[in-house]
Structure 1
Amino acid sequence: MTSSPGTILSVEETLKAILPEGKFGADLPPVEKWNPSGEKDIGMEIRADGSWWHEGGQIKRDRLVKLFARILRKDADGRTFLVTPYEKVIVHVEDAPFIAGRMDVLGAPGRDQQLGFVTTLGDVTFAGPDCPLRVETDAETGEPAPYVLVRGRLEAKLARPVFYELAGLAEPSPDDENVLGVWSKGVFFPLGPAA
């Protein structure tokens, strides 16, 4: 990846900020605490299929994409950025920044089960009070679009096979038998109508 003219995004400075020991660790950089002045638009984009693009070319190096994903932040105004202590780079997100490509069910079925989701970039999240699962329904087609919160305000869209697996766990809502949903960490998440 090369920077556009006038961009101060330095790969060396970025790496030092987010990988101080030179390798991926369990802890994510504190992007919520970084508030650099100014922002740049260098043509970064995450498409609906989860692929990352820069100035019209796909970024195919998985390690680079995973590195960028570690410094991704969605602000309260809905805009998404790559954030370092030195600058914010605008990222245009077509749908969700992550794709959940796998689901694991832990515990006995029902209220106490935990639904874990793994993104295609290796992030793990468990649906629950702090990481809600939601389904948007297209008004024209009626097609569901399921999402789970990964971190901050960043969501993962569930891949179609994962959503089918999730739907296989659906049961009637304790409040309305006409609504189907799933339990995770004691929270019932509606998926859609029973009929």
Structure 2
Amino acid sequence: MTSSPGGTFGLEDTLKAILPEGKFGGPLPPVEQWNPVRSADIGMEIRADGSWWHEGGRINRERLVKLFARILRKDADGKVWLVTPHEKVIVKVEDAPFLAVRVDRAGAPGPEQELKFVTNLGDETLAGPEAPLRVETDAATGEPAPYVLVRGRLEAKLTRPAFYELVSMAVPSADDPDVLGVWSRGVFFTLGPAV
């Protein structure tokens, strides 16, 4: 793959490298194994509403956004990158890189049920030991901010409707009846105090 003039990230070249047949599907690229030497900052950002931006302009091509989502990686230092075998581009993320827009429950309610979350870009993740669900609470407002791990270190923030759906499935904790949570794949995830 070659970069565009000036050594910046070549969007069309990336499309050809990541999707040589021009089709989505199949396994995700092994971005965790790619460690390119070259890096760049080209003004990429993901805003809290899930929109993707480049140099101040919104990226409206859904296919391009989905491609970028496939090569997104969050490193241990918290930095988020678009990664190819040859180059990586920093992405500023306002909150979380994905939004969980839907939650579906499979199985009988209880510890063995499975909660599947679907993101705004079509990714699916099953909450459980490998994909924890967590809720942060704003100290000033008391407002909850729920997240689920999608892959690697990349999380999706639950939209308000998805969180309300999740709360409707909540049950009291066995350890403290004043705390509500949900089960998925044998793990109890605390959502917050019963009100």
Q: What TM-score do you get using the length of structure 1 for normalisation?
A: 0.95
The match for 1:141 is: 141
Q: 4+ residue runs of structure 1 moved beyond 4 angstroms?
A: none
Q: Which runs of 5+ in 2 are unaligned?
A: none
Cα distance in 2 for residues equivalent to 1:47 and 1:56: 11
Tell me if structure 1 keeps the 8 A contact 2:9–2:40: no
* Pairwise CA distance, 1:4: 8.5
Secondary structure of 1:96's partner?
Answer: coil
The match for 2:70 is: 70
The match for 1:168 is: 168
Q: Which letter maps to 1:169?
A: M
Structure 1 residues 76-87: aligned runs within 5 Å: 76-87=76-87
After superposing the two structures, state which structure 1 stretch, 4-13 or 91-100, moved more.
Answer: 4-13
Cα distance in 1 for residues equivalent to 2:96 and 2:4: 25
Secondary structure of 2:100's partner?
Answer: strand
After superposing the two structures, state which structure 1 stretch, 94-103 or 169-178, moved more.
Answer: 169-178
After superposing the two structures, state which structure 1 stretch, 21-30 or 5-14, moved more.
Answer: 5-14
Structure 1 residues 1-195: aligned runs within 5 Å: 6-195=6-195
Tell me if structure 1 keeps the 8 A contact 2:137–2:144: yes
Secondary structure of 1:6's partner?
Answer: helix
After superposing the two structures, state which structure 1 stretch, 153-162 or 8-17, moved more.
Answer: 8-17
What percentage of aligned pairs have identical amino acids? 75
Tell me if structure 2 keeps the 8 A contact 1:102–1:118: yes
* Pairwise CA distance, 1:5: 6.4
Tell me if structure 1 keeps the 8 A contact 2:172–2:179: yes
Q: Which runs of 5+ in 1 are unaligned?
A: none
Tell me if structure 2 keeps the 8 A contact 1:132–1:148: yes
Aligned residues: 193
Cα distance in 2 for residues equivalent to 1:135 and 1:7: 40
Q: Decide whether aligned partners of structure 1 residues 95 and 5 sit closer, same or farther in structure 2, where only a CA change above 3 A counts.
A: farther
Secondary structure of 2:14's partner?
Answer: helix
* Pairwise CA distance, 1:13: 3.2
- The CA RMSD over aligned residues, in Å, is 1.4
